[in-house]
């Protein structure tokens, strides 16, 4: 697919482009992509948003142990490890890092960057409940503070007009991703699970205008295209990092593929858009927090609402089996995975719970389990 | 009966045993405590606790009474409310003192102490939980495993209301949410946000205080709805006064240790007293704790006056969290010549600044959220350094709870602050204060022994 190729070329050059932009005085704002930090606010302030989302590399996990205990979740440790390894340019360009302090694992990224780096840290407190007025107010105030922080960083006032333009860009990205995702409802999805998630990952640091063009071209290319037919998998978990494609790669030889996925970090929530009328900060709070779909597992309560949403997706995407993909030590997701497994069993949906610490040594065992799972689906 | 001597060792009076015998037996039966277990408990209590002191014996008894009240609460017609750890003290005292018809507790702590510390029979509870929602090998919280295991084994009743702390901890609110679904029990959360910068410790932002002050009010409203017990301001105030009184009772004992160069009482005994006042916020424990603490104070005072104690001239160290389910770890530290004089549970000077807030729940949030662990990792590291400084310690044992994500972040920074800024040695020790299957005293001994030697040498050099 030409659009994918063009996007890959763009991404290869992107880090150097960002370095050049930085040398020319642009500010780079790193953030943990989990759908709580509105990148449009960063862009509206004249800074460049960059999602810190690398993963799948055990070296980064190991390196993090110089700073934190090994009993934090793998994704969070990686975000500390990539900074410490000093090998990935993206992690070294950051002028300000914005971390949504959602649960203790993601909050640890903020704490570690605060304790061990010279980079300025903005801890963006996210309450664990989006139903109460006081929680909404807290999130809204957090956005105001973030806006002020970005303005201070760039020396530029964020105007309503600029913000509106950026929200529209982000809405366009969300809409296009949703459209492409929904194409996977067809019997023979025109795009593979791995390509779809890579699109998502690309959107966290590609130039936003370029990203939209790529998605539009791709959307056109995919219309009428038919992909392969095989067992249809719903992949669920806490984080899916850029580079963490092990499950996709292990699924490939089995002819199964991911047709829908849900992750709290590493994906862009695309089920809802942000209103572009009225007070836009309020609209961002509404879109990113109050209307967040689905809720992450670390919200309280969240599970029943999440399960209802998942079961709806199972029907819409004609899912044959669910793979629950947990990061080691991500407790809220691990416990919920066990609970959901029981529900899935009651509903007659094949369910497999696996776990990763990004260690290559785990690949063999994962392969066996995934292959056996897919075989059992095929045998139904 | 086979358990009479054991209970006397735990501060029970003979007539109390007679009066309580049916309840005791029913509870012991539910706990599957055999004569062998009681003998082991008796041996452990004699070996690891300072049972010469009446105060210590009475505190042991209070833990056991709390467990009996907890186990029998449902069949004795009480409503049950479970909060989780770390507790929001202002909320838990309000719940625990609300009514005699309601039993409020963090049940896992009671199980840990009685079944772990005393009987060394906690593992079946942990294993039951490991076979269910909290499997082994994933650093699941062993304190919560005790809660889940207790419920699964039918030892502790399913409550009428769960009130998990939704600040600091992610696992308790998730577990309670699911237990609420499974057992059809309402859950109400005491939420918080952890977005403070360490440079500001211990001052919280105004908006954080306002946010954290809201949920306790919602908790009390839900509590009223579920239990039918009206929570008046007067009741809340009464509970608070009682709590402060108890906390002061403990502080007076702890403060006795501060300037000494020997230990008139082991940290094992101090810990059980501390936990009693700050953690065991149960309906039982609120009844007569202050009197017991006053007894302990008098006894320790007397020993100090006579110069009686252990570890004369030994290096004085802090530990982050003393063990709640196994006395042998602190005993091992003492046996290698370390005086474990304090821990992170106590309030440091910067945290004692008066609150500017007038509203009760805002003031409560202000005080509660100043604690390093609820603030941010750098704040926590600074709090540890502050304890070392205030107590003029020779070293710090930064023992972190491996299964708690909040405690996984600060240890290396705390070590750096203590060593660089105070110039004293620090040892980071991976541990589990609620389950010693993987972190036993013997497994830690070599490292602690070496650390003790370093401290002794360093102390001797300073003295020259």
pLDDT the model gives residue B464? 81
Q: Which residues of chain A have pLDDT under 70?
A: none
Q: Which of B141-155, B209-223, B231-245, B411-425 bottoms out in mean pLDDT, i.e. has the lowest?
A: B231-245
pLDDT the model gives residue A130? 95
On whether the CB atoms of residues A67 and A91 are closer than 8 A, the answer is: no
CB contact under 8 A, B193 and A101: yes
pLDDT greater than 90 at residue B252: yes
Distance CA A154, CA A258 (A): 41
DSSP B341-399: EEETTSPPGGGGSPP---SHHHHHHHHHHTSHHHH-HHHHHHHHHHHHHHTT-SEEEEE
b/e B31-63 (16+ beta carbons within 10 angstroms → b): bebeeebbebbbebbeebbbbebebbbbbbbbb
Which position has the higher pLDDT, B281 or B244?
Answer: B244
The Cα of A191 is separated from the nearest Cα of chain B by a number of Å equal to: 35
Q: What is the DSSP letter of A54?
A: B
Average pLDDT over every residue of B211-224: 96
pLDDT digits (tens, 9 = 90+) for A25-47: 999 999 999 999 999 999 999 99
pLDDT greater than 90 at residue B288: no
Q: Taking CB atoms and an 8 Å cut-off, how many pairs form between chains A and B? A: 147
Q: What is the DSSP letter of B3?
A: T
The Cα of B67 is separated from the nearest Cα of chain A by a number of Å equal to: 27
CA–CA distance from A249 to each of A4, A255, A320 (Å)?
18, 11, 18
On whether the CB atoms of residues A32 and A53 are closer than 8 A, the answer is: yes
Average pLDDT over every residue of B394-408: 94
pLDDT greater than 90 at residue B227: yes
CB of B11 less than 8 A from some CB of A: no
Q: What is the dihedral of CA B48, B50, B54, B55, to 10 degrees?
A: -90
Cis peptide before A301 (omega within 30 of 0): yes
From the centroid of its chain, how far is CA A86? 23
pLDDT digits (tens, 9 = 90+) for A309-337: 999 999 999 999 999 999 999 999 999 99
Which position has the higher pLDDT, A37 or B89?
Answer: A37
Average pLDDT over every residue of B241-245: 87
CB of A301 less than 8 A from some CB of B: yes
Model confidence at B279, pLDDT cuts 50, 70, 90, reads low
Phi, psi of B31, rounded to the nearest 5 degrees:
-80, -5
User: Which pair of structure tokens corresponds to residue B363?
Assistant: 């003031």
Average pLDDT over every residue of B146-157: 98
Q: Which of A37-46, B72-81, B178-187, B284-293 bottoms out in mean pLDDT, i.e. has the lowest?
A: B284-293
- C-alpha closest to that of B143 among B169, B113, B119, B108: B108
CB contact under 8 A, A115 and B381: yes
Average pLDDT over every residue of B53-64: 95
CB contact under 8 A, B174 and A297: yes
pLDDT the model gives residue B280? 67
Model confidence at B239, pLDDT cuts 50, 70, 90, reads confident
The Cα of A92 is separated from the nearest Cα of chain B by a number of Å equal to: 22
The Cα of A134 is separated from the nearest Cα of chain B by a number of Å equal to: 6
**Residues forming a β-bridge with A262:** A236
pLDDT greater than 90 at residue B276: no
CB contact under 8 A, A300 and B166: yes
Model confidence at B96, pLDDT cuts 50, 70, 90, reads confident
CB contact under 8 A, A125 and B208: yes
Distance CA B416, CA B426 (A): 8
pLDDT the model gives residue B384? 97
pLDDT the model gives residue B281? 66
CB contact under 8 A, B214 and A67: no
Q: Which residue's entry shows tokens 């919920």? A: A336
Distance CA A177, CA B442 (A): 56
Task: Name the helix (H) or strand (E) containing B419.
Answer: helix B411-422
CB contact under 8 A, B178 and A303: yes
């Amino acid at each position: 697919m030409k659009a994918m190729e063009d996007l890959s070329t763009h991404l290869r050059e992107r880090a150097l482009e960002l370095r050049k932009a930085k040398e020319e005085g642009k500010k780079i704002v790193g953030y943990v992509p989990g759908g709580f930090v509105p990148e449009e606010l960063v862009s509206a302030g004249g800074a460049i948003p960059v999602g810190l989302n690398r993963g799948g590399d055990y070296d980064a996990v190991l390196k993090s142990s110089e700073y934190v205990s090994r009993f934090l979740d793998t994704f969070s440790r990686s975000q500390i490890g990539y900074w410490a390894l000093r090998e990935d340019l993206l992690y070294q360009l950051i002028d300000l890092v914005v971390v949504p302090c959602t649960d203790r694992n993601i909050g640890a990224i903020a704490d570690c960057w605060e304790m061990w780096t010279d980079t300025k840290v903005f801890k963006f407190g996210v309450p664990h409940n989006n139903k109460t007025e006081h929680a909404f107010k807290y999130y809204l105030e957090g956005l105001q503070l973030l806006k002020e922080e970005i303005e201070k960083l760039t020396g530029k006032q964020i105007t309503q007009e600029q913000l509106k333009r950026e929200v529209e860009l982000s809405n366009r990205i969300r809409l296009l991703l949703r459209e492409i995702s929904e194409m996977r409802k067809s019997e023979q999805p025109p795009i593979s699970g791995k390509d779809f998630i890579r699109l998502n990952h690309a959107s966290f640091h590609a130039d936003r205008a370029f990203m939209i063009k790529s998605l539009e071209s791709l959307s056109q290319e995919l219309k009428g295209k038919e992909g392969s037919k095989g067992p249809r998998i719903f992949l669920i978990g806490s984080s899916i990092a850029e580079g963490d494609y092990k499950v996709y790669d292990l699924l490939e030889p089995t002819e199964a593929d991911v047709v829908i996925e849900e992750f709290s970090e590493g994906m862009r929530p695309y089920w809802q858009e942000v209103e572009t009328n009225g007070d836009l900060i309020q609209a961002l709070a509404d879109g990113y927090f109050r209307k967040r779909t689905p809720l992450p597992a670390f919200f309280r309560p969240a599970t029943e609402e999440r399960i209802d949403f998942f079961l709806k997706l199972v029907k819409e995407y004609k899912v044959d089996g669910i793979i629950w993909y947990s990061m080691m030590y991500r407790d809220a997701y691990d416990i919920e995975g066990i609970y959901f497994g029981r529900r899935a069993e009651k509903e007659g949906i094949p369910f497999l719970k696996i776990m990763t610490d990004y260690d290559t040594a785990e690949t063999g065992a994962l392969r066996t389990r995934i292959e056996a799972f897919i075989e059992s689906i095929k045998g139904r | 009966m086979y358990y009479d001597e054991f209970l006397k060792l735990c501060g029970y009076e003979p007539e109390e045993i007679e009066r309580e015998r049916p309840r005791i037996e029913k509870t012991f039966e539910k706990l599957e405590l055999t004569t062998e277990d009681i003998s082991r408990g008796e041996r452990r209590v004699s070996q690891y606790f300072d049972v010469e002191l009446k105060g210590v014996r009475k505190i042991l008894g209070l833990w056991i009474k709390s467990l009996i009240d907890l186990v029998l609460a449902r069949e004795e017609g009480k409503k049950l409310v479970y909060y989780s750890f770390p507790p929001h003290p202002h909320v838990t005292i309000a719940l625990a003192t609300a009514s005699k018809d309601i039993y409020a507790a963090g049940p896992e702590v009671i199980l840990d102490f009685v079944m772990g510390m005393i009987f060394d029979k906690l593992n079946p509870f942990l294993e039951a939980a490991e076979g269910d929602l909290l499997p082994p090998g994933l650093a699941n919280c062993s304190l919560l495993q005790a809660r889940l295991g207790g419920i699964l084994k039918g030892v502790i009743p399913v409550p009428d209301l769960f009130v998990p702390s939704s600040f600091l901890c992610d696992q308790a609110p998730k577990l309670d949410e699911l237990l609420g679904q499974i057992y059809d029990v309402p859950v109400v959360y005491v939420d918080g946000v952890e977005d403070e910068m360490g440079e500001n410790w211990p001052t919280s932002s105004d908006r954080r205080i306002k946010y954290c002050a809201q949920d306790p009010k919602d908790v009390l409203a839900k509590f009223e709805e579920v239990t039918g017990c009206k929570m008046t301001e007067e009741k809340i105030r009464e509970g608070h006064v009682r709590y402060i009184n108890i906390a002061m009772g403990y502080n007076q004992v702890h403060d006795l240790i501060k300037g000494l160069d020997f230990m008139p009482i082991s940290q094992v005994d101090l810990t059980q007293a501390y936990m009693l006042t700050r953690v065991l916020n149960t309906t039982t424990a609120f009844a007569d704790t202050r009197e017991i603490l006053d007894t302990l104070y008098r006894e320790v005072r007397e020993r100090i006056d006579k110069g009686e104690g252990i570890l004369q001239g030994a290096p004085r160290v802090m530990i982050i969290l003393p063990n709640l389910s196994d006395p042998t770890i602190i005993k091992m530290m003492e046996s290698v010549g370390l005086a474990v004089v304090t821990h992170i549970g106590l309030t440091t000077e910067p945290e004692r600044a008066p609150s500017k807030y007038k509203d009760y729940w805002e003031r409560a949030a202000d005080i509660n959220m100043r604690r390093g662990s609820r603030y941010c990792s750098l704040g926590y590291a600074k709090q540890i350094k502050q304890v070392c400084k205030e107590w003029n310690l020779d070293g710090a044992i930064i023992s972190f709870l491996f299964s708690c994500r909040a405690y996984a972040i600060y240890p290396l920074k705390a070590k750096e602050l203590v060593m660089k800024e105070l110039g004293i040695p620090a040892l980071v020790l991976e541990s589990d204060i609620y389950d010693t299957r993987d972190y036993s005293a013997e497994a830690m001994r070599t490292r602690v022994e070496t650390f003790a030697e370093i401290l002794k040498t360093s102390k001797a050099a300073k003295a020259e």
